[in-house]
Amino acid sequence: MPIKNRFAELLPEITEWRRDLHAHPEILFDCHRTAGVVAEKLRAFGCDEVVEGIGRTGVVGVIKGKATGSGKVIGLRADMDALPIHEATGVEHASKTPGAMHACGHDGHTAMLLGAAKYLAETRNFDGTVVVIFQPAEEGGGGGKEMCDDGMMARWGIQEVYGMHNWPGRPAGSFAIREGAFFAATDQFVIDLEGRGGHAAKPHDCIDTTVVAAQLVVALQTIASRNVDPTKQLVVSVCTFRTESEAFNVIPQKVRLKGTVRTLDADVRDLAETRIKALTEGLAASFGATASIDYMRGYPVMVNTPEQTEFAADVARAVGGGCEEAPLVMGGEDFAYMLEERPGAYILVGNGDTANVHHPAYDFNDEIIPAGCSWWAEIAERRMPAA
């Protein structure tokens, strides 16, 4: 079945919702206005239950089919939060909040799931229950984990869960997915090095932490090139290098490095953490410096389960005429927490030739709304077909 006609009819209305959300971005868990708009609309659609405050500011809506004898319960999830970026699109619906913008398309995800919820509440042409999940704090806050920790899956008896993300560079409205590990685990580290500061003209009287840190930045790259099976993926990136002095003639006492580690395999994740600590401590000691390391594990690997991935791809082929195999993504996605609790799948929908996500010139492509809404609606109707 192609794009549902109802979503073509609803496109102007859903676009209006999306642009309103875009103009009023909220960061991490501070999604109070967004959550309020979502809850208000779900109640207006006639959802059987609407609950706010799950995972702090998350919203859950429940839509029962014309029959529920199948006992099936499907979760559909969209993220609501924006990014701390100053918008540079110049569009009429641009952010009204300085330093915050929907630079990843979560406004579009929320609007599309609201559109699907409106349709499903109107038609209820399925045998079971749909739980629509609107999540805060995907962009680094772990809102998905907090919703799960609040008992969301058990409370509503969710058996499977499905998510979606727009993807700039893919043809608008096209789909791509992959089975198994899809998005990477995202860890962070802070390394503090301390030597003996002093005058730059007397380096022999110092333990130069800048030299230690520079050597360490290079050494950390050997984890991927010399410690990990080359057929497996690992990214170790040092992204901050800060000394305690900005003078031209001072060797600093302390240097701080910050970075991220991305992996798609649990063993590689463990190895990376072990080697970062060993290299840091060993290299610092070899120069006579000391080191402390704060290694913080972030989102886990996001893993699509086989049966649900094939089903999601079948639905995508029905809606969009095809579904390609997506590449591995070394970015993180906290939908991973929901997939750790329940089987399910996460799919990419093309956003067309637009600026990339997390860029100040990015804007969600409203033309893809009918495709996204149709996919979510078809997930419910095909997985829980009415008698």
155 and 96 in contact (C-beta within 8 Å)? no
Q: Spell 266-288 as b/e; 16+ CB within 10 A means b.
A: eebbebbbebbeebbeebbeebe
Q: Is 359 annotated as a binding residue?
A: no
Residue tagged active-site, from 127, 138, 160, 179: 138
User: Any binding-site annotation on 102?
Assistant: no
Q: Report the distance separating Cα 53 and Cα 143, nearest Å.
A: 11
Report yes or no: 269 and 239 within 8 Å, Cβ to Cβ: no
Q: Is 48 a catalytic residue?
A: no
3-state DSSP call for residue 328? coil
Which residues are bridge partners to 190 per DSSP?
258, 294
Answer for the pair 63, 120: CB distance below 8 angstroms, yes or no. Answer: yes
358 is in an annotated binding site: yes
Q: Does the annotation place 106 within a ligand binding site?
A: yes
Q: What distance, in Å, lies between the first and last C-alpha atoms of the chain?
A: 18
Which one of 26, 30, 79, 81 is the catalytic residue?
Answer: 81
Contacts of 157 (CB under 8 A, 6+ apart): 73, 129
DSSP 48: S
Q: Report the distance separating Cα 160 and Cα 153, nearest Å.
A: 9
Residues making up the annotated binding site are: 104, 106, 139, 165, 358
Residues making up the annotated binding site for Mn(2+) are: 104, 106, 139, 165, 358
Active site positions, annotated: 81, 138
